[in-house]
């Protein structure tokens, strides 16, 4: 059992974090929370049978808490990471906090686990893609992502953390090292191409292509809460060409694959959602497990690739 403290609830509490914490109640126990709206804090504390912390420091020094879930940092900025480092606490940095953090000014927080929320690694479609790569379609060689986004400032768009999340996902699929990135404007949008180094086993070097077009018509209504700010992008489809087949990710819970003359569509809505898997892995890691989790270095590397693409765009 991992005892945690929560900082903020953010816009995704009801749809993502609350259901995941309820599903993981035998692994993750909420001991205390810090929420600026007292009525809301009282409701959540009753549901999770936890206390309401009087301050950020009180939450961080709580003797039973081993990790902090920063779900909405509010005006705290990077302070939760600094205090967590000072008191030896691990941190899960939720997506709202990730998007509002100035990563160029993020402090050196030492060796403890700080896991940024990178949900594309943990979607049911991605988990199934990895199974298919190992058993049917072979290693991913080319990833083509179709996405929509506002292109008023393409350089800012490429440097946004939602783009970094896509870059990170492509990087994990490549299973090798980043080589170079290019970006160019096209008639109705922009295209970014990321090349990776050849695997130690040889073969074709993996490549990832991100095509971004401005939203039209129904796209504006269907945009997810994750990209409502207008700064990020929304991916619509990802085509993964592999050594022995192809996988098309139509959504986080649906994919279609082709291999050896066989084509199948799989709906994965009954699988564990990404948030539940992420928090489960985070808990296992903090409790001493060897399960790999995303790091600040992974996020920083993806942001760096996005900035290089912005520079190439000119």
Quickly state the pLDDT bin for 231 (edges 50, 70, 90): low
Q: Are residues 108 and 147 in the same domain?
A: no
Give the residue among 297, 143, 149 at the shortest CA–CA distance from 207.
143
Residue 216 lies in a domain: yes
Q: Are residues 128 and 145 in the same domain?
A: yes
Interhelix angle 161-174/296-313, nearest 10 degrees: 110
Q: Are residues 164 and 308 in the same domain?
A: yes
Query: For the chain, what is the mean pLDDT?
Result: 90
Q: Give pTM, 2 decimals.
A: 0.91
Lowest-confidence segment of 147-151, 209-213, 273-277 by average pLDDT: 147-151
Paired with 5 in beta bridges are 32, 68
Query: How many angstroms separate the first and last alpha carbons of the chain?
Result: 50
Q: Are residues 176 and 249 in the same domain?
A: yes
Sequential DSSP letters for 216-272: -THHHHH--GGGTTSSSEEEEEEEEEETTEEEEEEETTEEEEEETTEEEEEE-TTSP
Residue-wise pLDDT for 214-225, tens only, equals 987 655 444 444
Residue 257 lies in a domain: yes
Q: Are residues 165 and 309 in the same domain?
A: yes
**Using CA atoms, how far apart are residues 103 and 286, in angstroms rounded to an integer?**
23
Pairing between β-strand 262-267 and β-strand 254-259 as defined by DSSP bridges: antiparallel
Quote the pLDDT of residue 200.
Answer: 75
Quickly state the pLDDT bin for 138 (edges 50, 70, 90): very high
Residue 87 lies in a domain: yes
Q: Are residues 229 and 261 in the same domain?
A: yes
CATH code at 217? 3.30.360.10
Given 117, 140, 160, which residue is the final one in a domain?
117
Phi, psi of 239 (to 5 degrees): -105, 120
Length of the chain: 314
Paired with 211 in beta bridges are 146, 191
Residue with the bigger pLDDT between 100 and 302: it is 302
Residues 230-246 have a mean pLDDT of 88
Q: Are residues 67 and 190 in the same domain?
A: no
**230 has a pLDDT exceeding 60:** no
CATH code at 98? 3.40.50.720
Given 68, 102, 117, which residue is the final one in a domain?
117
Quote the pLDDT of residue 111.
Answer: 67
Q: How many domains does the chain have?
A: 2
Quote the pLDDT of residue 223.
Answer: 47
Q: What's the domain range around 64?
A: 2-117
Residue-wise pLDDT for 59-70, tens only, equals 989 999 999 999
**227 has a pLDDT exceeding 60:** no
Residue with the bigger pLDDT between 289 and 120: it is 120
Q: Are residues 127 and 18 in the same domain?
A: no
């Amino acid at each position: 059992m991992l005892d945690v403290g929560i900082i903020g609830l953010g816009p995704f509490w009801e749809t993502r974090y609350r259901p995941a914490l309820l599903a993981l109640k035998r692994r993750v126990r909420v001991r205390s929370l810090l929420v600026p709206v007292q009525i809301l804090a009282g409701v959540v504390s009753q549901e999770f049978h936890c206390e309401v912390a009087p301050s950020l420091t009180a939450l961080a020094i709580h003797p039973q808490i081993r990790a902090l879930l920063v779900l909405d940092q509010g005006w705290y900025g990077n302070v939760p990471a600094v205090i967590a480092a000072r008191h030896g606490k691990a941190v899960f940095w939720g997506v709202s906090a990730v998007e509002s953090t100035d990563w160029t000014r993020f402090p050196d927080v030492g060796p403890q686990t700080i896991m940024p929320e990178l949900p594309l690694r943990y979607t049911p479609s991605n988990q199934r893609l990895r199974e298919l790569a190992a058993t049917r379609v072979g290693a991913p060689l080319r990833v083509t992502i179709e996405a929509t986004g506002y292109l008023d400032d393409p350089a800012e768009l490429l440097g946004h953390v939602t783009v970094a999340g896509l870059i990170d996902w492509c990087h994990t699929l490549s299973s090798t090292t980043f080589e170079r990135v290019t970006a160019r404007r096209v008639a109705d949008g922009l295209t970014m191409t990321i090349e990776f180094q050849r695997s130690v086993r040889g073969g074709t070097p993996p490549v990832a292509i991100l095509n971004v077009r401005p939203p039209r018509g129904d796209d504006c209504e269907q945009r997810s809460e994750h990209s409502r700010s207008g700064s990020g992008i929304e991916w619509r489809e990802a085509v993964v060409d592999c050594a022995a087949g192809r996988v098309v990710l139509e959504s986080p819970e649906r994919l279609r694959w082709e291999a050896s003359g066989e084509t199948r569509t799989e709906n994965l809505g009954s699988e564990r959602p990404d948030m539940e898997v992420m928090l489960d892995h985070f808990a296992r890691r903090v409790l001493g497990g060897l399960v790999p989790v995303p790091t600040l270095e992974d996020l920083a590397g993806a942001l760096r690739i996005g900035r290089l693409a912005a520079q190439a765009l000119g």
